[in-house]
Structure formats: C-alpha cells, structure tokens
Structure 1
Amino acid sequence: MKSPANVVSYLALGIFLFAAEFYTLGMSPGHSPLMLVSHVLLLGVVLFHLGMHLFDSKPSFADASVVVFEITFLILAPALQLAHDAQVLVNTMPFDDTSALHANLIFIVFIVTYLGARHLLPRTIQASTARASEPLTIRYAALIPALAICVVAAMSAFNFASQLQAGDLDGIDVTPLDMIRAKVLFFLIVPVFILIVLHRPRRIGLVWIALALFAFVLLLICQNPLTEKRNALGPIYLTLLALAFQRHLKSPSRVFWAIFVLSGLFFPFSELFTNSRIDKWPLSWATIESFFEEHFASTTYDAWANTEAIVEMVSREGINAGRQLAGSLLFFVPHTVWPDKPLATAILVGEYLQRNYSMWFLNLSAPLPAEGYFDFSWAGVVAYGFLLGHFSRRADALVESPIPLRRALGCYLSFYVVFVLRGSLMVAVAYVVPVLVTFQLVSVLLTSRENRRAEPRTARPLYSGMARRK
C-alpha cells in the first residue's frame, strides 16, 4: 500500500536507523573500513526488507516479525550497546573488527536468502480447501473436563509462582516433568480460551460471557511472567491481540507497526515483573527509567554479539557438522539414552565465553543464522534462510485459513518466529512441539464438523467471513 503516510513512516524510520548507526560508528573510531561498510550494508539490506514488507500487497504477521527482529536485535540493540561500550560487547567478548565483519555478512546472506525463498518460490501453498471450509462447533461435553484440567493447571501455576516469589525454587534444576507441566498443562488453557471466543453463539448470553471470562482468568493465572519465559509469553498475547483486531490489521504497515510497538513495550514490562519481586512493588519511577535505559544494552539482546562469538568458535574449533541440528530434532531423547547428546548452542556459547572471557551465566542466545554457520558453515546460513522463508509462507497460509484454531496457530507461529530467530534452535523446537500437540488435541477432542447442508445450531466462527474463498 503505497500511501503517503506509509512512505513517510518508512523514510522516517530509515533516517532514524541510519542516524543511530552513524552516531554509533562515529563514537567508536579506528575500526576497519570494511567493518564500517558491512554495518551500513546490513542496515541497507534490513531497510530493503522493510520496504518489501511495507509495500507488499498482503499483510504477513510472520514476515513482520522477522523484520522487527532484524531492526531491534541486529540494528538498534548493537548500536546502543556499542554506544555504551565500544570496546567490550554485551557478552563480555572484546570487540573485533574481523568477527564483526563476519557476523554482518552472515546476517546479510541469511536475509537475502530468506527474501529469495519467500518471494521467488512458486506460490503453491493454498490457504483453504472445500473440506476445511465446513463449519465447526464445540463439543461442550468435552469442554467441561478440559476446563476442569485447566483449573488444576491454574492452581499448580499459582503455587509455582508463589514459591518462585518466595525464593523456594532458587537453584532447583528443571526436570522433564516440569517441562511437560509448563508447556502442556499450563498451555492447555490457551487454545481452549481461543476456541471459546472464536466459536461464539449466535446470541451471546450471560452464560457464554461468564464462561469466556472464567477461561480468561485461568489464562492469566497459567500464562504470566512469573510462570513462563517472556519469549514464550509474547506469541500468546500477540496472538490474542491479532485475533481480536484482525479486521483492522488489513495492511502490511499496520501489522508491522503494531508488532514493532507492542514488542518494544511488552518485553521490557514483562522483564520488570520477572526481575523484581512482588514485595518490592510499586517500583519507583527512577527504577523504571533506569531499567528502560539499560534494557537494550543487556544480554536480552545479545544475538549480534553471540554471532561474533560463534564466528570465533568456528575459527578456533571448526564447525559441528550437523550435531546441533541432530540434537534439535531429537530434543526429546534423554542424555541417559544418548550420553553424547549435544547441548543447546547457546549453552556452548556461554561455556566458551566463561572459559575465555568474563561471562558469568549460560542463559544466552544463539541466533538462527549463526546456528546454521556453527553447524554447516555458509551452507547452513543459506539453508536456514531458505527454510525460514518457506516457514513464513506456511504460517501465512494458516493465518488465512477459515478454521479458527488453524488461524490462531498461524498467528502464534508467526510471532514465535522471533523466538526461533533468537535461538537456540534446540530450545525453540522443544518449546514449539508441545504447542503443536496441544493445539491438535484441542482441535480433535473439542470440535466437530457440522453438515454443510444443515444450518449451524449452536456456534459459528467469529471471523469466518474474513477468509478469502479461492
């Protein structure tokens, strides 16, 4: 949509990013000319991607999420971090021109490959079929026990949050049972709530309103910064907002700016909750202000710095020859069965930084392009960019589906792309598989198809009229 406002907003953001980049480079003189050129070239590629997105004919939540990741994690955060300290990166690794040039080239190749796969491949993915367009209804007999399980999950989540705030869980290792509880039991309420809201009765009464509010309260108890990582919470609440305002998000520019603004606000506020105990609230304005000033200079945005670390690791130790990918695909295999099972790439990066520099913990990131480089060198960067482009197209097809739960899953996966891009891949895969299983279980157990020749009796999809028939 080439409206004047769209063009002006694009130019304004581009000028702002160029100004931030040149300001940062000006504060840290003495670097290699090639490194400086690579920074500007990376920014140019990101702005080219942003232009392709803003002026596309159709909106895409997945593509917008990728652009937001590029701007925040690869442009803004590194600029602020280098302005804060031009000699030492946020991951305690000394700044090196050669590694910075290499990292920038990795991201450039990845983005170009992603754009090629997304825009140049034949568009063979169809969003809907005749069978898929048949209306669905809720099996209320199965919904009651599902909500009962969600109540149990909410009680468990409340107890977990209370223990966490009291410090009773400090130093406790996470077991596979804890993972199942967090990623399946606590998450179950998400597709259940979406199902209730998207399949509303023709006449909304007090019973349905009470049911929806009850499910929403359970959702807030099970999914909040005290019970779940903020990276996993983002896709959930962004999905709910996208489904609620999907009729208003009809242009690529609206989708991008909505995700850009919400991501910039959600992550800092959620981190305030996770880093400050409830007994210290309300926080002073000075505390909040200093937190926001330091937020983008923290290890939360260490993707670019850790790519430099991975470049150095590969130069010293060589590539991993697919071990990380094997560990990601077989994440469910315990170490007792596979003693040599690789650790997540981010943990390997953290251990390397601890051995060679001054890093003090292992909860780091390993961005997807760097993960591909770590496993397969430049071929991995190209392959992962290609796969991400195809994945984004698949997510777009789900968002356009006439089936409400598929549409919700498409939105979730679109926003989850940021988690995948930040890495590690093993963690991202391990987190998303239970989500896919839970969505599928809710769809199979709680919905049934109606005869198209019969008029729906109890329910109709809330957004069924929005999908384009092909």
Structure 2
Amino acid sequence: MFISLVVLFPALSTLTHIDASLSQIISNPEELIKSYNRFGGISSAFQTLHYDAYANIMATVDYTTKNGFSLGYQLLSALLFFVPRSLWSSKPTSTGELIGDYLMNDYGLNFNNLSNCIISEAYIDFGLFGIILFAFILAYSFKFFLSWLKSNDFAKQITAFYFAVHLIFLLRGDLTNGFAYFIGVFLGIYFIPKLLERIIYFILKKAK
C-alpha cells in the first residue's frame, strides 16, 4: 500500500494528464515519456491536491488563528451526522467544507470540496490537546478492533477488517464523511445481522 501511494499512484497520474489517444500511444510509446516529463515526474504529484493534507492542516491553523477553536462544536457534525438539517438548522458543516468555504472567501479558492485529515479535525476542535486526545482515541480503536479481529465471531472479524481498510478514508477525512460511512457499513454488516439473529432466536424460543 505504501508503494502504491508513494510510487505507483504518482506515476500513473502521468497517464491521466496525457494528451495523446490510445492509438497514438501504441504507435508512438514516446508519448508516455513526453507526458511524464511534461507532468514533472513522480515528485510533482506531491505538490498537487492529491496530497493536500499538509496544506489543509495549515489552512485549518490559519482559520483557528482568526476564528478560534470550535471546542467540540465541529465534532458534532460527525457524531450527529444522522440528524437532518431541517430539525437542526445550526448544525455545523463538515470541516472539509468549512475550511473550503474559508479559503474561498479569504483566499479566492474556487471550490470547497476538500478533505480534512484527522490531525486537522482534532486541531480545529481542541488545538494541540485535541491532537493528543484523538491519538489516544485512535489507538484505543486500533486495540478494540484488533480484539474483534482475533475473536471467533465472524461478524466481528469482518467489521474489524473493514475498519482497517476504511482507515484510508477515515484518516484522510473529513471526519463527518469518514465516520458516517463507517457507521452505515457497521450497521449493515454487524448490528442488523446480530439484531435479526436475536429476533429469530426469540421467536424460536417462544415457539417451543
């Protein structure tokens, strides 16, 4: 996975920026080399929005310098994602959108569809203390799901495996979307099957 993110993905990005058609590439493979040189090679990919975590952290620090920390209010957008805005008109937007709007208004960015990594999410709520707090919560989550992975319960094993894969999404952020999508899958692959299992067991027990 490390090689894919650091080497393979940046290298393949040259193909997404190539101007030549497939037939032109087949007849003249040098077009790939020209595209690679024009794109700037692998290192140039780390200066694009494909790898925007550091830039978004700096934008979040800049935002909190001017507006202060949210003191947990921004975290509510993730924890209470299921509450509709029609019932909660002051519900906070996701942090990615919040920082995107801030950059649009103050720095002329022309879109607000940004990710926001877990470090940035922690900082906007509680500053440096938040980063330490989130690190402990994340470590506990690792330990908790590791115990599920080692259990004899197949549903727990599947949930823990999915959590490990979902970390790519969860850590990149923003937290609202990462958390909401995990809870949805958790309900589907663990909670609902367990609930149905209990209901069926209760019915069969009553039938006896």
> TM-score with structure 2 length normalisation?
0.75
Change (3 A) 1:401 1:314: same
Partner of 2:203: none
Q: 1:350 aligned to 96, 100, 107, which one?
A: 100
Identity of aligned residues (%): 28
Unmatched 5+ residue regions in structure 2? 26-30, 198-208
Partner of 2:3: 261
Shift of 1:263: 4.1
**What letter corresponds to residue 45 of structure 2 in structure 1?**
H
Unmatched 5+ residue regions in structure 1? 1-258, 447-470
**What letter corresponds to residue 406 of structure 1 in structure 2?**
K
* 2:100 is aligned with 1:361: no
* 2:134 is aligned with 1:384: yes
SS in 1 for 2:151: coil
> TM-score with structure 1 length normalisation?
0.35
Partner of 2:151: 401
Q: 1:325 aligned to 75, 80, 83, which one?
A: 75
* 2:45 is aligned with 1:303: no
Larger relative contact order (CA 8 Å, sep ≥ 6): 1
Q: 1:427 aligned to 165, 172, 177, which one?
A: 177
- 1:215-248 per-position Cα deviation (integer Å, ceiling 9, x unaligned): xxxxxxxxxxxxxxxxxxxxxxxxxxxxxxxxxx
Cα distance between partner residues in 1 of 2:150 and 2:13? 32
Shift of 1:434: 0.9
8 Å contact kept, 1:324–1:426: no
8 Å contact kept, 2:81–2:176: yes
Partner of 2:205: none
SS in 2 for 1:360: coil
After TM superposition, what 4+ stretches of structure 1 lie above 3 angstroms from structure 2? 262-273, 280-285, 287-295, 441-446
Shift of 1:379: 2.1
| Larger helix percent | 2
Correspondence list, 1:55-454, <5 A = 259-264=1-6, 284=25, 286=32, 289=36, 290=39, 293=42, 294-440=44-190, 441-442=192-193
Change (3 A) 1:369 1:282: farther
SS in 1 for 2:74: helix
Shift of 1:443: 6.1
| RMSD (CA atoms) | 3.2
SS in 2 for 1:324: coil
SS in 2 for 1:439: helix
